[in-house]
Structure 1
Amino acid sequence: MLEKQNELIELQKKRDQEKQNKEDAVIQATLRLRNPRTRSSSSSPVTAASNSTVTTFMPIDKSSRKRGHSGRSRLVISALMDNAGFHRSSIDIFESTEDNRMDSSHFLAWIDRTASLLRKEFGIYTKIVLVIDNAPWHNRLTNDTMPPKRSWRKEHIIQWLNTHNIDVPVKAVKAELLDIAMKNLPEKRYETDEAAKKYNVDILR
């Protein structure tokens, strides 16, 4: 009986290791796609200071073709990395489909979860900085700082101006109202930054 249990334990360990090896292979392939000159995670160009006061990470979100699917299916990987390599607890891998792909909502949920994990891991006294690029899903504005669109109806633009406490000339036409709005845009705030801020994690662009 004991021998059978040991066999099952060893089998489970083997399966776990195989799964980990596959994930590592996908991550390394993604890293090479991002930076062809990079042969291993230890040679990453990202600068990080891992000490008692500041820890810096760079989020990576890339898609990689899944073998055997004629290029139609892709794995999307989100992970943090610093000069020591990938931060394993931050890794998120999912299969991209028409209904499930990387977008602002998915990235925002990942940032929220990851910032929470980092704060628990490094404690309240460590300054944590995430360095991100300008991918579209990184830069979705908060609702209150989104500018009006030229496709909006005049009434919608007036509502935007009123919400932002901007005087509306009585006889102004739509073009004039848009011009007033564009000259009085609020300071940009990003949903990603706001999510990280809840855990006292800074975002650097």
Structure 2
Amino acid sequence: MKKDPCSQALKQSREEGRQVVYLDETWFTTRMSHNTEWVDTAQPFTTTTYEYSRQVPPGDGECFVVVAAGTNKGFIEDSFLCYTAKNSSGDYHGEMNAELFKRWLTTKLVPSLEEPSVLVIDNTPYHSHLTEESHCPTTGTKKGDLINWLRQRNITYPPHALRPELLKICKENRPPPRFTVDNTIRLWGHEVVRLPPAHPELNAIEQVWSVMKKYVRSSLHHFTRTDLNARLNEAKLYVTEDVWANAVQRSEYFEREYWSLDNIHDSVDPIIISLASDDEEEDFILDSFEG
């Protein structure tokens, strides 16, 4: 029976005694889906009743993007980064790109890892920026560029081939995907395990985010940036080593299930979107790395 390569790699890493690090990004807002709460404006903020009846301002509020990593012992020291998003839609993916993620990786996370580790990541576009040698021509590639791509790789083609035929030959010789993030991680002496698409249950930090969001959602009172910052700091403390250990244990349970039932196949290709870097520097985010 064919086994899931992700689960197999994680299983082998643990047997070798390597630390498994789960990393991910998520979002929090100053409203946190409280808009439909019943409101009793007669109750002052200091009363117990107000705990269950908060006056929530209209709208989505401000959105904060959080990036972090952790193990079964808790968050990796200095890996927790929080910054204000430019929009409040909750689509935090639009607030991150490959350059910013790599900056966080090399300045916040990997310098804090004290032992060779295995980093578990998903196939979000900014985790999956292809190296130059991994790029393959697309339907938008000009005929001359198709020919150059084939010549550079000493791949033969009919001398009078039309563009569709050239593109077909290029795709038949598509190089295996190599990612800039993976190369960076390995340069620091660590390994990478990429999760199959649509399997967040294999990433323990997803469960940690859920615990933190539940805490923040239930504890917001003023629905301001200051209020959210304070609740986030409390939520980090609320997520104890036991919470992390339980999250990792549950992810390992799913790994074993997929290992035994073979519900994930290594023939399923990850969804990879190669993003061009923005011309405008994201100063509002990059400044966060200097703090």
TM-score of the two chains, using structure 1 as the length reference: 0.65
| Structure 2 partner of 1:87 | 76
1:201 to 2:190 alignment: yes
User: CA 1:64–1:171 in 2, change beyond 3 Å: closer, same or farther?
Assistant: same
| Counterpart residue number, 2:25 | 61
Distance change in 2, residues 1:165/1:114 (3 Å): farther
Over 6 Å off, 4+ runs: none
Question: What 5-or-longer segments of structure 1 have no aligned partner?
Answer: 1-45
Size of the aligned set, in residue pairs, is: 152
SS class of match (2:79): strand
Contact kept, 8 Å, 1:60 with 1:81, in 2: the verdict is no
The amino acid of 1:150's aligned partner reads T
RCO higher in structure (CA 8 A, sep ≥6) = 2
**Percent of aligned pairs sharing the same letter:** 25
Post-superposition offset of 1:175: 0.8
1:62 & 1:78 partners in 2: Cα distance? 7
Deviation (angstroms), 1:165: 2.7
Letter of the structure 2 residue corresponding to residue 75 of structure 1: F
Does 2:141 match 1:147?
A: no
Distance (whole Å) between structure 1 residues aligned to residue 166 and residue 106 of structure 2:
37
Tell me the C-alpha RMSD between the 2 structures.
2.7
Deviations 1:56-79 (A, max 9, x none): 111121122234793253211110
Matched, 1:163 2:157: no
Q: Once the two structures are superposed, what CA deviation does each residue of 1:155-184 show, in whole Å capped at 9, x if it has no partner? A: 121122223332232101111111111111
Deviates further, 104-113 or 187-196? 104-113
Listed one character per residue, the Cα deviations across residues 84-140 of structure 1 (whole Å, up to 9, x for unaligned) are: 222231111111216x81122211222222454134xx1xxx321101112222111
Contact 1:162 1:168 in 2 (8 A): no
2:75 matched to 1:102? no
Unaligned regions of 5+ residues in structure 2, if any? 1-9, 32-56, 88-93, 195-291
SS in 2 for 1:90: coil
TM-score normalised by the chain length of structure 2: 0.47
1:76 aligns with 2:65: yes
More strand by share: 1
Rounded Cα–Cα distance in structure 2 between residues aligned with 1:69 and 1:88:
36
